[in-house]
Amino acid sequence: MSGSPAGAVVTGAGRGPGKEIARLLVERGHSVPVTDVDEAAATATAAELGDRAFARVVDVRDHGRVEAARDDIVERTGRLDVWVNNAGILITGPAWEQDEAARRLMLEVNALGTINGTVAAIGAMRDSGGHVVNIVSLAGLTAVAGEAVYAASKHAAIGFSLSTMADLRAAGTKNIDISCICPDGIWTPMLFDKLDDPGSALSFSGKLLQPEEVVDAVRKVLDKPRLVTAVPGWRGIVAGVGDAVPAFGLAAVPLVIKQGARVQRKLLKAQAPE
């Protein structure tokens, strides 16, 4: 990409890592629509980030709304440089215990939302170039007990991203990059609410990340695109081994769940009033 930074879009930017990624892009000189299904959160974040940010209500399941957000930023700035698909939702429990609405919601927000955002971004980047960053999850790299449908949605996001990169290169498009960030559990309200949920123990089995650690990973791929980045890296190696040898990975799951449950109990105890 040439010239000064232009437009950048972040989905699910009203709070958490999305908010901090939007802040990073504003600091790098981009104009950023803070998109979220929560209008109040988007408006508050946009006001906090300053003149380069503005609020936009977007449900990533609706391709028309996603395209409208893209067209808006291109009209305002003349070019779309970066698109970050961050919006996501986690509902824990075995698939057979979840109703159809819960399963559909996760698949549509996490997988279809990533597809909608990526396709919309490519439409604006074909001539000028750009970078799509998809915030996925370690759940997209391996088996995750208690989060089967969530993991399915994240595996779909990874598969789509890598396959679309292959399609772009096969079409001779070399000026668009796609990078996937696969973080471990992030210490946000979404995970905090799962402290007493046995089904989410696996999310607590590694290092609980702070949002700024995800932002740092985004900063690094913006400077040097990379197809898949696990955060932290060692968890990505473990996930890769489990995925390469599924029998080994599945055998290790109960041990990892026990570790996660211990962390949950420790955190719950720390939160309890004295």
Listed by start position, the domains of the chain span 7-271
- Calculate mean pLDDT across residues 207-236: 89
| CA distance linking residue 34 with residue 58, whole number of Å | 9
Coil, helix or strand at residue 5: coil
What's the pLDDT tens digit per position in 226-257? 999 999 776 777 677 667 767 756 776 777 77
Q: What is the mean pLDDT of residues 11-25?
A: 96
SS3 188: coil
Catalytic residue among 54, 83, 150, 204: 150
Distance CA 142, CA 240 (A): 7
Banded pLDDT at 39 (limits 50, 70, 90): very high
Number of H helices, E strands in the chain: 10, 7
What secondary structure letter does DSSP report for 40?
H
User: What is the rounded distance in angstroms from the CA atom of residue 30 to the CA atom of residue 188?
Assistant: 25
Q: What does pTM read for this prediction?
A: 0.84
Beta bridge partners of 21: none
Mean pLDDT, residues 180-194 taken together = 76
Mean pLDDT across the chain, nearest whole number?
A: 89
Q: Residue 150 catalytic? A: yes
The percentage of the chain sitting over the pLDDT mark of 70, rounded to a whole number, equals 86
- Triad 166, 18, 132: Cα angle to 5°: 20
Query: DSSP states of 70-111 as a string?
Result: HHHHHHHHS-EEEEEE-------S-GGGS-HHHHHHHIIIII
**What backbone phi and psi angles, to 5 degrees, belong to 87?**
-55, 135
Write down the pLDDT at residue 197: 73
CATH of domain 7-271: 3.40.50.720
